[in-house]
Structure 1
Amino acid sequence: MYRIAIEKLYQWKKSKRRKPIIIEGARQVGKTWIMKEFGKQAYENTIYINFDSNSRMAELFASDLDTERLIMGLELYSGRKINPENTLLIFDEVQEVPRALASLKYFYENAPQYHIICAGSFLGIALHEGTSFPVGKVDFLKLYPLSFKEFLMATEKERFAELMNTRDFDMITSFKQTYIDALKLYYFVGGMPEAVQCFAENKDFNEVRAIQRRILEAYEQDFSKHAPYELVPKIRMIWNSIPSQLAKENKKFIYGLVREGGRAKDYETAIMWLTDCGLVHKISCVNAAGIPLKAYEDLKAFKLFVLDVGLLGCMSGLRQRTLLDGNALFVEFKGALTEQYVCQQLKTIDDLGIYYYTNDRGSCEIDFIVDTGEQIIPVEVKAEVNLKAKSLKTYREKFSPEISVRTSMADYKKEDGLINLPLYAIEQISTI
Structure 2
Amino acid sequence: MNRKPLLLAGARQVGKTSSVKKFGSENYKNVFELNFMRDKVKLSSIFDDGLKPSSILENAQIALGKPFNQETDLLVFEEVGFSQDALTSLKFFYEDTPDIHVIATGSNIGLFKNYPVGKTERITMYPMTFREFLIATNNSMLLRFVDTPDHSKVPTVAHEKLIDLITDYWFVGGMPEAVSAWISYPDIEPLKRINAVEKVKANLLADYKNDFGKFSKEHPATALNIRRVYEAAANKIADIEDGNTPKFKFKGVLGNTSVSYEDIVAPVDFLECLKLLHKVFILDGLNNSFNMNFQKKDNMFKLVPHDVGILTSMIGMTYQNIKEGKDAYKGFIAETFVLNEIVSSMVFPDEENELFSFKRGDSMEIEFLLKSLDNEYVPIEVKSGKNKRSISLANFIEKYKPQKALKFTFNYVENNPKRILQHLPVYKARATYAKHFKSKDNIEFK
TM-score (norm 1): 0.89
Aligned to 2:189: none
Aligned to 2:178: 195
Q: Secondary structure at the match of 2:13?
A: coil
Once the two structures are superposed, residues 256-281 of structure 1 have per-residue CA deviations (whole angstroms, 9 ceiling, x without a partner) of 15243322122211111111111111
Is the counterpart of residue 147 in structure 1 residue 129 in structure 2?
yes
Which sections of structure 1, spanning at least 5 residues, go unmatched? 1-15
Moved more, 20-29 or 172-181: 172-181
Q: Secondary structure at the match of 2:378?
A: strand
Q: Determine the C-alpha separation between the residues in 1 that align with 2:232 and 2:148.
A: 40
- Aligned ranges 1:345-384 → 2 under 5 Å: 345-351=341-347, 353-359=354-360, 361=361, 363-374=363-374, 375-384=376-385
Aligned to 1:425: 428
Q: Does the CA contact (< 8 Å) of 2:46 and 2:63 recur in 1?
A: no
More helix per residue:
1
Aligned to 1:245: 236
Q: 1:62 to 1:371 in 2, by over 3 A?
A: farther
Q: 1:177 to 1:289 in 2, by over 3 A?
A: farther
Q: Determine the C-alpha separation between the residues in 2 that align with 1:178 and 1:406.
A: 20
Query: Cα offset for 1:283?
Result: 0.8
How many pairs align? 409
Aligned to 2:107: 121
Once the two structures are superposed, residues 232-265 of structure 1 have per-residue CA deviations (whole angstroms, 9 ceiling, x without a partner) of 2221221121223234146111111524332212
Q: Determine the C-alpha separation between the residues in 2 that align with 1:217 and 1:37.
A: 27
Q: Secondary structure at the match of 1:102?
A: helix
Moved more, 175-184 or 221-230: 221-230
Q: Determine the C-alpha separation between the residues in 2 that align with 1:166 and 1:334.
A: 25
Q: Secondary structure at the match of 1:57?
A: coil
Q: Determine the C-alpha separation between the residues in 1 that align with 2:197 and 2:276.
A: 19
Q: Secondary structure at the match of 2:33?
A: strand
Query: Cα offset for 1:325?
Result: 2.2
Query: Cα offset for 1:22?
Result: 1.1
**Among 88, 109, 116, the residue aligned to 1:134:** 116
Q: Does the CA contact (< 8 Å) of 1:20 and 1:108 recur in 2?
A: yes
The one of the two structures with greater contact order (alpha-carbon pairs below 8 A, sep at least 6) is: 2
Q: 1:326 to 1:134 in 2, by over 3 A?
A: closer
Query: Cα offset for 1:412?
Result: 4.1
Q: Determine the C-alpha separation between the residues in 1 that align with 2:31 and 2:339.
A: 35
Q: 1:409 to 1:289 in 2, by over 3 A?
A: farther
Query: Cα offset for 1:221?
Result: 1.3
User: Which letter does structure 2 place at the counterpart of 1:367?
Assistant: E
User: Which letter does structure 1 place at the counterpart of 2:250?
Assistant: Y
Q: Determine the C-alpha separation between the residues in 2 that align with 1:271 and 1:353.
A: 14
Q: Does the CA contact (< 8 Å) of 1:293 and 1:353 recur in 2?
A: no
Is the counterpart of residue 216 in structure 1 residue 225 in structure 2?
no
Aligned to 2:302: 303
Q: Does the CA contact (< 8 Å) of 2:49 and 2:56 recur in 1?
A: no
Q: Determine the C-alpha separation between the residues in 1 that align with 2:159 and 2:424.
A: 12
Once the two structures are superposed, residues 86-126 of structure 1 have per-residue CA deviations (whole angstroms, 9 ceiling, x without a partner) of 3211100112221111111111111111111111222222x
Once the two structures are superposed, residues 115-165 of structure 1 have per-residue CA deviations (whole angstroms, 9 ceiling, x without a partner) of 11111222222x1xx3x3211111111111111111111111112124422
Aligned-residue Cα RMSD (Å) equals 2.1
Query: Cα offset for 1:289?
Result: 5.8
Q: Does the CA contact (< 8 Å) of 2:148 and 2:431 recur in 1?
A: no
Aligned to 1:104: 90
Q: Determine the C-alpha separation between the residues in 1 that align with 2:291 and 2:26.
A: 39
Aligned to 1:321: 320
User: Which letter does structure 1 place at the counterpart of 2:81?
Assistant: Q
User: Which letter does structure 1 place at the counterpart of 2:3?
Assistant: R
Query: Cα offset for 1:220?
Result: 1.6
User: Which letter does structure 2 place at the counterpart of 1:120?
Assistant: G
Query: Cα offset for 1:387?
Result: 3.6
Once the two structures are superposed, residues 169-196 of structure 1 have per-residue CA deviations (whole angstroms, 9 ceiling, x without a partner) of 3145551011011001001001111000
Query: Cα offset for 1:17?
Result: 3.9
Aligned to 2:444: none
Once the two structures are superposed, residues 320-360 of structure 1 have per-residue CA deviations (whole angstroms, 9 ceiling, x without a partner) of 11111233xx1x2111111111111111012355310123x
Query: Alignment identity in percent?
Result: 29
Q: Determine the C-alpha separation between the residues in 2 that align with 1:358 and 1:65.
A: 50
Q: 1:219 to 1:296 in 2, by over 3 A?
A: same
Aligned to 1:18: 3
Is the counterpart of residue 396 in structure 1 residue 385 in structure 2?
no
Which sections of structure 2, spanning at least 5 residues, go unmatched? 187-192, 348-352, 437-446
Q: Determine the C-alpha separation between the residues in 2 that align with 1:297 and 1:283.
A: 10
User: Which letter does structure 1 place at the counterpart of 2:143?
Assistant: A
User: Which letter does structure 2 place at the counterpart of 1:422?
Assistant: P
- Aligned ranges 1:408-423 → 2 under 5 Å: 408-415=409-416, 416-423=419-426
TM-score (norm 2): 0.86
Q: Secondary structure at the match of 1:313?
A: helix
Q: Secondary structure at the match of 1:355?
A: strand
Aligned to 1:8: none
